[in-house]
Chains A and B, each alone.
Chain A
Amino acid sequence: MLRVDNLKTKGLPLISLELSKGECVVIQGASGTGKSLLLRAIADLDPASGQVFLDGAERQEMSGPEWRRQLRYVAAESGWWEETARQHIPSTKRTRRWIEALGLSDVQLDRKISRLSTGERQRLSLVRAISDNPKFLLLDEPTSALDAQTAALVEELIRFQVLSDRGILMVTHDEEQAKRLGDRRYRLTRQGLEAEAA
């Protein structure tokens, strides 16, 4: 269980939220309301007041890296620190299966990151994020750079992750995608989080 209690950071209203494992919660809202800031603050990438608990343990009880190993933030356009994706993603049976499921292959893994398309990088960053089995995923517009067909592959992988008992908090601008994936949906406004009708 992930519990966010009165989280407050610059540019964001006071936020409280709960998310269970095996559940996908979607957050929508107009541009500039702070959706990405919210995910970053939960991942402890930006300073914020308030408390965030993971399975009953408050994040201050552990180091930042320890927290982020259990709760993984994936930016819409994530960065890379080595030359190829293969250097970032361990080669296991599971990762190979996910790479294939997302319509990718060894070619993309070995190509220089700078030579990959934005969509390829976006899919590979998702594989990288789940490669070490974090408990929760914080996905910031995971299909923003993808066509409908490829986005469907990513949605399939997200559903599979939920079924595998991973909790997912996701930001998307795609109304239909939010309805397809979200067990619960919220709209982020200047006042705070408002629950959307099921």
Chain B
Amino acid sequence: MTSYIELSYWDLVIASLFLLINGGASLAFNLGIERTLLLNGLRMIVQLGAIGFVLKFIFAQTSPFWTIMLAIVMVLVAGREVIARQSIGIKGWAYYGLGTTTLFFVGLVGTVIGVGFLIGPEPWYAPRFVLPVLGMMLGNTMSGIALSLETLTTMANREQNAIEAHLAMGASRFEAMRNTHRQSLKTGMMPIINAMAASGIVSLPGMMTGQIISGVDPVEATKYQLLIMFLIAGGTGLGVMLASFGGVYLLTDERHRLRLDRLDIE
């Protein structure tokens, strides 16, 4: 088994040149995304660079306080990201609260089960385990929730006539929103279902790749990856269900009326 090979900053500079291909494509085809590409590339460098130092600091402390503080920041940022990804959102803080609360709940359940019970590090709050597992759960659940809520709001807006005709016939809000709600659940869960099918053949998941490069036995790395995939799949399903149920509540009211006036259409 080869040991871990340290990268130099020059290696990163050379790898970053690959972004020039995207920039070139944007200029050649007049896509107008070169500025966004540059800004997002810089944002990635700053964010990853910063988190590297932050994690180094937190790992050195091994204190539950610092682990929980960073976990809270991760949940808040992921909650913000869910809202930022919507072309049609719902007005008000409740929508941000819905995404964030769901992510908090899913992250908590997944991390407690995955790290606390299954991996079982000493101490239980060891940030080296808690934070990466939480990060992977949040990243995937966030995408599922964002897709699910986006489907819910755009479809409710498009299907207003059908939903209101059903309500006018005396249906409850969940009966009238059934088609929209089902599609929202399905769309939110599809990426993780597809990812499971492609894992190991089309792609080697990021964590497994990282472990293998670090010198971990591939079979052990696979076990970790499977554990994470199960947690992510369950967490995404749970998150999508909670968020879409909450979304239906926010898009309707206690009189079972469709409230498209609450949509935030750009």
Contact residues of A with B, CB < 8 Å?
Answer: 43-47, 63-66, 68-69, 72-75, 77-81, 125, 128-129, 132
Q: Is B257's beta carbon under 8 Å from chain A?
A: yes
Query: Residues of B contacting A47 with CB < 8 Å?
Result: 253, 255, 257
Q: For window 133-170 of chain B, which residues contact chain A by CB distance below 8 Å?
A: 159-170
Contact yes or no, B255 A81, CB < 8 A: no
Contact yes or no, B164 A68, CB < 8 A: no
B141 → A minimal CB distance (Å):
30
Taking a contact as CB atoms closer than 8 A, the residue among A64, A75, A132 that contacts B165 in the complex is A75
B179 closest partner in A (C-beta) = A81
B41-58 to A contact mask, C-beta < 8 Å, 1/0: 000000000000000000
Report, nearest first, the 9 A-B pairs whose CB atoms are least far apart.
A79-B161, A69-B170, A79-B162, A64-B256, A64-B255, A79-B165, A81-B162, A73-B168, A78-B165
Q: A65-B172, A66-B170, A68-B170 are contacts. A46–B257 as well, Cβ < 8 Å? A: yes
| Residue tally, chain B, CB below 8 Å to A | 23
A141 → B minimal CB distance (Å):
15
Contact yes or no, B169 A45, CB < 8 A: no
Contact residues of B with A, CB < 8 Å?
Answer: 159-172, 176, 178-179, 253-258
Query: Residues of B contacting A64 with CB < 8 Å?
Result: 167, 254-257
Contact yes or no, A72 B169, CB < 8 A: yes
A72 closest partner in B (C-beta) = B168
Contact yes or no, A65 B256, CB < 8 A: yes
Query: Residues of B contacting A132 with CB < 8 Å?
Result: 169-170
Cα–Cα distance between A129 and B160 once the two chains are bound (Å): 18
Taking a contact as CB atoms closer than 8 A, the residue among B159, B168, B179, B254 that contacts A45 in the complex is B168
Contact yes or no, A128 B169, CB < 8 A: yes
Query: Residues of B contacting A129 with CB < 8 Å?
Result: 168-169
Query: Residues of A contacting B170 with CB < 8 Å?
Result: 65-66, 68-69, 132
B175 closest partner in A (C-beta) = A65
Contact yes or no, A45 B161, CB < 8 A: no
Cα–Cα distance between A64 and B161 once the two chains are bound (Å): 18
Query: Residues of B contacting A46 with CB < 8 Å?
Result: 257
